Amino acid sequence: MYARTATAALAAAALMGTGAVLMSTADTRTADRAGAGHVTAVTGVSTVSALTTNAKRTAPVVFAHRGASAYAPENTLAAVDKADALGFDWVENDVQFTKDGVLVVVHDTDLKRTTDAEEVFPDRTSWAVKDFTAVEIARLDAGSWFGPQFAGTRVPTLKQYLDRVERNRQKLLLEIKSPEIYPGIEKETLRVLRQKGWLDRAHVKNRLVIQSFGADSVKKVHQLRPDITTGFLGTPAVAELPSYAAFTDQINPAYTSISADYVDAVHALKGAHGKKLRVNTWTVNDAETATKVAGLGVDGIITNTPDVVREATG
C-alpha cells in the first residue's frame, strides 16, 4: 500500500449505471440512488446486483494513507500536515519497534526504501527497523528519496506523530505493523497512546481506530482495551466473518479483493461493539477506481491521493 511519487489530480468520474450522489467527509448529506442496475466487482471476478431504487447511502470517509503520501514523504509529519492542509481529518500510519523498544512511524520493516540508512550506516549488514536504536533512526533522512524539498525530514516517533495529529485536530487510523516480529507491541502502543492523552473517552469514541493484518494482534488490542474501535486488514472468507466480528469493528480489505456482495456480507454482521461492521478499502488512488468502490457500498477509502478521491466521490 504505497505510492512513491505524487499523482496528478484527476477529474471526477461519473458514477456508473446509477445516480448516486456521494458526500465528502465534510458534507454529511445522503442521497437517493436513482434506479437499479448492475455493478461489476472491482476485481472483475463477478457481477453483482447494485442497490435497489431509493436505497440511501452515505459517501465513504476518506483516509489519508500514511498522510497525504502522494504529495509528501509517507508517514512523516510533513505528510500529516499536507493532509491537514488539504482538509482531511483522518490520517493512517504504521508503527514498529526500534531495537531499544521505541515506537516509530514507518511502513517497511527495513529502512532502505524511505531513508538513507545504507549511506549513514554503510557497515551494517541489516537495515531492519528492529536492528536500529531510536537515536540511530533519528539521524536518518526520510525525505530526500521523495524530493529534494523534503531533505532532512525525519522518521517520527509515535509520540511525535501523535503530537502533530493532535495539534492539527485530526483523527488516527493506526496500523500495528508486522506484530509477529514485535512481541508486546500492542501493550506498548496502548501505553504511549494513554501517555499522550489518546485513550480518553473523546479520542477513543471519535478519533482513534487501531488495525492490523495480524488477527491475533487485533484480538489482543480488543482484550486489553475493549472500548477501542479496531479493524482487521484483509479479506476473510464470508463464512469466517462471524468469528472476526467477535473482536473487530471493521474489515479493511484491498479494493482488488471485494465485490458488492462481499461488502453486503460484512454489513450484515454486527462487530465487537454491537454496530454494523464497516468496510474501509485500500489503496485507491484514482478517480475511476474511487467511483467504482464507492458504488460497492464501502464505508471508507484509504488513499495516497485523498483530494482525488474526495473529488470523485463528493
Distance CA 258, CA 14 (A): 21
| pLDDT band for position 51 (cuts 50, 70, 90) | very low
Q: Which backbone phi and psi does 161 adopt, to 5 degrees?
A: -65, -45
203 classed as catalytic? no
Catalytic residue among 65, 203, 222, 273: 65
The greatest distance separating any two alpha carbons of the chain, rounded to the nearest whole angstrom, comes to 65
Distance CA 288, CA 40 (A): 13
The tally of CA atoms less than 13 A away on the side-chain side of residue 151 is 2
**Strand ranges in the chain using DSSP code E only, listed in sequence order:** 31-32, 38-40, 47-49, 56-57, 61-64, 90-97, 103-105, 171-176, 208-212, 229-233, 250-252, 278-281, 300-303
CA dihedral 18, 262, 173, 304 (to 10 degrees): -50
- Residue 243 has which C-alpha cell? 468469528
What are the residues whose beta carbons fall under 8 Å from the beta carbon of 255, sequence distance 6 or more? 42, 281, 282, 283, 284, 289, 293
Distance CA 279, CA 260 (A): 11
Q: Which backbone phi and psi does 230 adopt, to 5 degrees?
A: -125, 160
pTM for the full predicted model: 0.83
Q: What pLDDT, on the 0 to 100 scale, is given for residue 56?
A: 55
Distance CA 262, CA 268 (A): 10
Distance CA 182, CA 204 (A): 24
pLDDT digit string, tens, across residues 195-213: 999 999 999 999 999 999 9
What are the residues whose beta carbons fall under 8 Å from the beta carbon of 68, sequence distance 6 or more? 79, 82, 83, 85, 86, 88, 304, 305, 306, 307
Count H helices and E strands in the chain, helices first: 11, 13
Partners of 208 in the β-ladder: 172
Q: 305 versus 19: which is more confidently predicted?
A: 305
Neighbours of 243 (CB within 10 A): 11
Catalytic residue among 38, 107, 203, 273: 107
The tally of CA atoms less than 13 A away on the side-chain side of residue 285 is 17
Q: What pLDDT, on the 0 to 100 scale, is given for residue 13?
A: 35
| pLDDT band for position 31 (cuts 50, 70, 90) | very low
Q: What pLDDT, on the 0 to 100 scale, is given for residue 166?
A: 98
Q: What pLDDT, on the 0 to 100 scale, is given for residue 168?
A: 98
222 classed as catalytic? no
What are the residues whose beta carbons fall under 8 Å from the beta carbon of 218, sequence distance 6 or more? 210, 211, 212, 230, 231, 232, 247, 248
